[in-house]
A and B are shown apart, each in its own frame.
Chain A
């Protein structure tokens, strides 16, 4: 084995027992070999120090970034709360107005299904229970049952009444979500009604632009509650 390879193996800590003996002997007997080993050890050490400095520089940069981020978060936190404070002062008038309109126009949609259901056999007692609760104003319990029965047989009006129950118990966000994401394919008559309640939901949650959009659509296509929609649009001006 050449001296070069022997030294390389030593540097990488890969000498076996036999090679170690040869290596030690050369180290003692051969000054050139000795010098070469010393050179390589120095080189290894120098590279190590240099690399460690590089890593340190890199880590310091990361640390600085973290600090900057923290400062920035702090500043933007303050900025955000100022903006929220200002906008809540500015918008204080409007939400109350929109809420007022909501209160004025909102009525719980009547149960137009149940009589038909009752005339049929009591095939789904869960559904009829839900309607009985709805009729007696127990919307909280009704919403749970409507949801459950919708999961069971996917009749669309159950979803509609689920949303109506949610509106009645002020779970407006959830109601909006249901109404916004569902098109009634089999019971088309509910689409118009759903849009009216969707518009009301947006009023309740102070999303005036979205409310207006739906109200305009209701008016222009002469849908359910078109007249009322027009009135509200006037008031919002």
Chain B
């Protein structure tokens, strides 16, 4: 498959596209990472996190066009994660999974953990429609027009008002939980 086509697929159907990428390069990645003498389970973890970074970079628009192959790009993320993993492991022998999660890009930024978990809980309490519309807008960065097409709304105005309602809901939920 053409790789820019794959990028399109990722934007359209996340689960299927990610599974395809995951399985396509899995064997090679495990072989590659085994060279650093890392446990199979840790390799799987690192590989999964690398796929997530790849996905984040695609939807955030950071990765618009590939200058190299998707595999090369994915492996360069993986390599960074492997080296990070080894560094952490050497620093702290009683290494736990939590420190790996800190390698995720979302943890790089300075955030108020407590505050965020409040938001996460509220988000999870929203109905599926609200979750979807907010996800598409805030995480996948789709325009109102794209969301209209994606969720088959009649107009962007409907999307806009639906989104406002969802924002109001989550604000209320957060207020209640405080």
Contact = CB atoms under 8 A, between A and B. Distances in A.
A47 B106 contact: no
A8 B15 CA distance: 27
B159 to A, nearest CB: 12
Interface residues of A, number: 25
B134 interface: yes
A179 B81 CA distance: 61
A12 B22 contact: no
Interface in A1-54: 8, 11-13, 39-40, 42-52
| Tier of interface size on chain B | 35 or more
B123 A46 contact: yes
A50 B111 CA distance: 15
Given A12-B141, A13-B61, A47 B14 contact: no
A63 B137 CA distance: 29
- Majority secondary structure, A binding face: helix
A49 B106 CA distance: 7
- Majority secondary structure, B binding face: helix
Contacts of B49: 56
A66 B26 contact: yes
B48 interface: yes
Nearest to A44: B138
A66 B139 contact: no
B44 A63 contact: yes
Interface of A: 8, 11-13, 39-40, 42-52, 55-56, 58-60, 62-63, 66
Interface of B: 14-15, 18-19, 22-23, 26, 44, 48-49, 51-52, 55-56, 61, 104, 106, 109, 111-112, 115-116, 119-120, 122-124, 134-135, 137-139, 141, 143, 167, 170-171
